[in-house]
Amino acid sequence: MEIYWERYQKPLFVVENGLGAKDYPIHKEDGSVEIADDYRIEYLRKHIAEMEKAIENGVDVMGYTVWGCIDLVSASTAQMSKRYGMIYVDRNGNRTEGTTGQDRLLKFIYTHTATRLLIRPFLSPWVSKLGGTFLSTRLSAVAIRPFVEKNQIDLSQYEKQEFASYNEFFTRKIKAEERPVEMDEEVLISPCDGKVSVYPICEKGKFEIKHTAYTAEQLLQDAHLAKHYYGGWIYILRLTVDDYHRYCYVADGIKSSQKKIKGILHTVNPVANDACPIYKMNAREYCLLKTETLGTVLMMEVGALMVGKIKNHEQRNCRVCRGTEKGMFEFGGSTVILMTEPGKVQPDEDLIRNTEAGYETLVKLGEQVGRKIKV
């Protein structure tokens, strides 16, 4: 400060003084939450002390502001993975609450025997294929504008704004800068936009999704592979029709070939899961991603009602990079599932708390959803 004062002889105002770093809340037994950021306090204390010395030496200091009072979204990355504030802000504002008209309709259908029988023909993959064929025609393009207006989709975020068919619109590619990817190799990123829930897998391979019981063996149809994930975590990332329907690899590593499991195509709305075990009934496919820092992560894509195709770009064994596009879903809701091995990844605390409270949490492709467990 004294250098600038000596050179310009103008009053100085210190602004946006702060330190960006990744902090994680510590949940205490008494229910309180603490952020251990003494280093940030020390950083600010030293800067203020230097400012005080400058005033004593005759520098005309008009004022001081810190960056910032509370945590905020980064203008350059649109993320909150780094903290700057004196007050911690988590992602609770992104949890989803309430029910929609679609939820109420599906609840009626799935909780009555007669209506479940009526929709059974529509669960066939052939029905979805027929629907997908029509949605790839030029005639289907008339449905694009009403959908965009209803869901308030900003097409300027995407590489194209004009589409020849509804499926071309549905699988539109977003501009890279709209989905920045967290590149810390110790971080597990979200593979897609969606609503996430996380569940522990018990030592016998059992887990519950919204009170519906599953086993890892039922999901994978491979008893030997399932045992590798006993004691780990499972992430359920549910995409609705208005979400971005492309997904990426969650880390650098070597992927296995894709394994496909045949099935029917229930909706993946949680209402349907309350009535039947949709994730062990629906068509799905998966690969194993062997990483250096996060263990072997299983990545699975689950088809859903009116999803014509799960389109993975790479079917064989190969090396892949974090954030690189893995594939896309054609029209409809759908789900991406991640499974992590025991002792490898700890899901973010807000995701665990929201899931335990019965909420899903909104996440974007590329942002942090877990971190390597340090031994």
Catalytic positions, written as ranges:
193, 334
Residue 359, judged by CB atoms within 10 A of its CB (0-12, 13-18, 19+), counts as: middle
Distances (CA, A) of 292 to 29, 221, 254, 297, 372: 34, 26, 10, 11, 11
Token pair of 19 as six digits: 């330190």
Task: Supply the DSSP symbol for 92.
Answer: G
How much helix, strand and coil, in percent to the nearest 5, is found in the chain?
30, 30, 40
Residues paired with residue 286 on neighbouring β-strands, in sequence order: 259, 300
Q: Position of tokens 């025997």?
A: 113
**Cβ contacts of residue 306 below 8 Å, gap of 6+?**
127, 128, 131, 132, 265, 331, 332, 333
Q: Position of tokens 């998966």?
A: 286
